[in-house]
Amino acid sequence: MARIAYDSPAAMAYEATRHLTDDGLADWRKAITRHLGPRPGMRLLDLGSGTGSWAQAFTTWYEGIDVFAVDPSEAMRARSVYQPVIPGDAAHIPLDDDSVDAVWISTVIHHVPDLAAAAHELRRVLRPGAPLLIRSAFAGRHQAITLFRYFPEAVRVLDTYPSVVDVETAFATSGFHTVACEQVPQTTAASLYEAATTLRREAHTLLHLISDDDYAAGLARLRRAARTDTGPVIDALDLLVLR
């Protein structure tokens, strides 16, 4: 079960504010390409595909790649910019054994209630030696994410997420080993003002799970800072690659 309800308001907020531009994702494209080794005919699973921004990006970036988008939320599937999206989750992936050449999981791993069960299921659908790419904010690794400067209370929520070691340990039970763990920068917004004016609490699990008072205080901090800080918002999330 997800930590928050991915209902229609959340799906609308996610679609409106969490789709980054190709320019903003330039470093992610380089990192993904390096670890993915894309080729025509490759079959990639986007697990927890949400409103489809990554599935759409992959089909734009890589000619001839087949993307299978899977998400448990009916609201997310309905608003996805990539279609079709298949109902399913990390414990119940509606694909055949040894049927995909890679798996992409973006900002989803903290919603998975049983990491070992997910590892077993992912091992089932992945072909031998195929990569699993996990993009996430992991517990204890908040320093490069702008959000936490203005919402420090959200660090406590992040620290309830799986750590890199937690994921590595759980996935090792199904024979996965770590290939790489690296921070990848992205341009999250053109300016702090843009970030402040477009922020939607419904689109961020971390902000959902702090108190209303803490959210209001953080939003006030963000808006004050946006008056003088005019540079782009550069964040870095982790990319954990397993095989």
Question: Is 3 among the domain residues?
Answer: no
Question: Is 139 among the domain residues?
Answer: yes
Instruction: Give residue 138's pLDDT.
Output: 98
Q: Which residue has the higher pLDDT, 7 or 240?
A: 240
**39: CATH:** 3.40.50.150
pLDDT at 1 over 60: no
Place of tokens 């001839």: 64
Question: Is 170 among the domain residues?
Answer: yes
Domains held by the chain: number: 1
> Which tokens hold the place of 85?
């999206």
Mean pLDDT score, 221-231: 95
Residue 123 three-state SS: helix
Instruction: Give residue 140's pLDDT.
Output: 97
Question: Is 202 among the domain residues?
Answer: no
Dump pLDDT digits (tens) for 164-187: 999 999 999 999 999 999 999 999
DSSP readout, 133-197?
EEEE--TT--TT-THHHH-TTHHHHHTTSPPHHHHHHHHHTTT--EEEEEEEEEEEESSHHHHHH
Give the Cα separation of 5 and 75 in Å (integer). 10
Question: Is 138 among the domain residues?
Answer: yes
Dump pLDDT digits (tens) for 35-88: 999 999 999 999 999 999 999 999 999 999 999 999 999 999 999 999 999 999
Domain that holds residue 35: 8-144+158-188+236-242
Residue 2 confidence class, pLDDT cut points 50, 70, 90? low
Dump pLDDT digits (tens) for 106-163: 999 999 999 999 999 999 999 999 999 999 999 999 999 999 999 999 999 999 999 9
Question: Is 219 among the domain residues?
Answer: no
DSSP letter at 111 equals G
Question: Is 152 among the domain residues?
Answer: no
**What predicted TM-score, i.e. pTM, was given to this entire model?**
0.95
Question: Is 204 among the domain residues?
Answer: no
